[in-house]
Every structure is written in C-alpha cells, then in structure tokens.
Amino acid sequence: DADVTQTPRNRITKTGKRIMLECSQTKGHDRMYWYRQDPGLGLRLIYYSFDVKDINKGEISDGYSVSRQAQAKFSLSLESAIPNQTALYFCATSDFLAGGDTQYFGPGTRLTVL
Amino acid sequence: SQQGEEDPQALSIQEGENATMNCSYKTSINNLQWYRQNSGRGLVHLILIRSNEREKHSGRLRVTLDTSKKSSSLLITASRAADTASYFCATDERDDKIIFGKGTRLHILP
C-alpha cells in the first residue's frame, strides 16, 4: 500500500462548486503539505501543517482552505472553484525528527474546473 | 517566491550519455534537494546535500553544491530510458518551508 494516498485521483467540477481533496498518510510523519502544479510553473505551496493544531499559509493560499483532522489526514478545500484552479494537486509529508526536509509525495489529484 | 531555478528547461540526450542539469538559488540555504517526477506522478526524492557539503553521490547520480555561487548541479551518468522525467531542485527557506524550482525536462533518446 502507498504511504501517502490522495482521493480523488481525478475530478471534474463546475465553477462555483465546493470541492474537497483528501490526503492520508501511514508514514507517521508530523508535517504535511499541499502543493499545486501548473505546466511550466513547478510546484507552489498552498498550505502546510507541522502538527495537528498548526496550519500555515503558503505562497498561494487565496481561494483555498485546509483542515488537519488528525496527524494522518490533511484535506484541502476549494470553497468556490474557479477555472484557474484547474491544476495537478499534490499532498506531501515530511518527518521533523528526521530533519524535516525530505518530502514524500502522494500520486496527485488532477482537478479540472469547467 | 521561486527560490531555485533549473537550467536548462529541457534537455534531450542519447541513451548512455551523461546528463547535467543546474540549479541556481537566491538566498542562503541549509540544504538543497533534487527530486524526480515521472509524467503526471508525484515527486520522488533523489538526494539531499547540506550547505557544508560540496559533492554527494548516490548510484549514478552526482550532486555538487557551490554556496559561493549559489548553484548546484545534478549529473546522471550513463543515462537510461527510464531516466526520462522532470527533475526539480528544492531549497529550504525560513519557516522550514521547502521551495521548488520549475524543473528540467529530461528526455533520453533510444
């Protein structure tokens, strides 16, 4: 079984809809991250969490919110989806006790907003 | 804010040749990492080099770091078709965030 899983893997939705992307990990890591990837722009950090009670905005948090329901779960919500949020979304984890820098990525969620 | 920037953006080489890609960054770092991404998949960590290290090896990978020039290079020796992927450098920032570059797309020709 994969250590970092994301659901759904693909999603097509309409403008204005609320969407939730979920991430679960079995690695026991304390830190979790959400990134989006657009062609030619690399990965950009949306939100990150260093612990269950810790939530931090990243580079591009506008239009997104997150919830860290448990150490193993970190969900990303688009309250009212818009077409320019069409992208590939990745969840990642890292382990503070191991230095915290090496990140382990999920398989990604491809989101299309029409 | 983009910290690392890879060069070239794209690279095509013959199988068996060596591939070199570079990363430049702007501010001081504690470490620099390289990741690989196969098309449409999650990134996979390749190697981490700390600011007090100048060179590091892992299998066919060789990474160098020049903190005076704020640059790093990734060398893949004896390339294989399976090395076709995008390669990203990532640097640490304040607040323990990791910032990724835009990547180099490597294509190994048969």
Reported as a single tens digit per residue, the pLDDT across B17-45 is 999 999 999 888 889 999 999 988 999 99
Q: Which of A37-41, A106-110, B46-50, B83-87 is the least confident region?
A: A37-41
Which pLDDT score is estimated for A101? 81
- CB of A92 within 8 A of CB of A32? yes
pLDDT classification of B92: cutoffs 50, 70, 90: confident
For residue B17, the distance in angstroms to the closest alpha carbon of chain A comes to 26
Using one digit for the tens of pLDDT, what is the confidence trace for A43-83?
999 999 999 989 999 989 999 999 999 999 999 999 999 99
Query: Which of B24, B30, B58, B98 to probe by mutation at the A interface, max A CB count within 10 Å?
Result: B98
The predicted-structure confidence for B62-82, as pLDDT tens digits, reads as follows 999 999 999 999 999 999 999
For chain B, the distance separating the N- and C-terminal CA atoms, rounded to the nearest angstrom, is 37
B66, B79 Cβ separation under 8 angstroms: no
**Candidates B40, B45, B103; nearest CB to A102:** B45
A-B Cβ pairs (cutoff 8 Å, strict): 54
User: Would you report the helix, strand and coil content of chain B in percent, each value rounded to 5?
Assistant: 5, 55, 40
The closest CB to that of A105, out of B33, B40, B42, belongs to B42
Q: Please give the pLDDT value at position A100.
A: 65
What pLDDT does residue A98 have? 73
Mean pLDDT of the residues in chain A: 93
Closest residue in A to B91 (Cα) is A101
Give, in order, the Cα–Cα distances in Å from A76 to each of A37, B59, B81.
Answer: 15, 37, 35
B98–A103: do the CB atoms touch at under 8 Å?
A: yes
As a whole-number percent, the residues of chain A with pLDDT over 90 amount to 86
A55 to chain B, any CB pair closer than 8 A? The answer is no
Once rounded to an integer, what is the mean pLDDT over residues A91-103?
A: 84
- Å between A15 CA and nearest CA of chain B: 24
- Residue B94: pLDDT band (50, 70, 90) is low
The pLDDT value recorded for residue B98 is 85
pLDDT grade, residue B95 (50/70/90)?
low
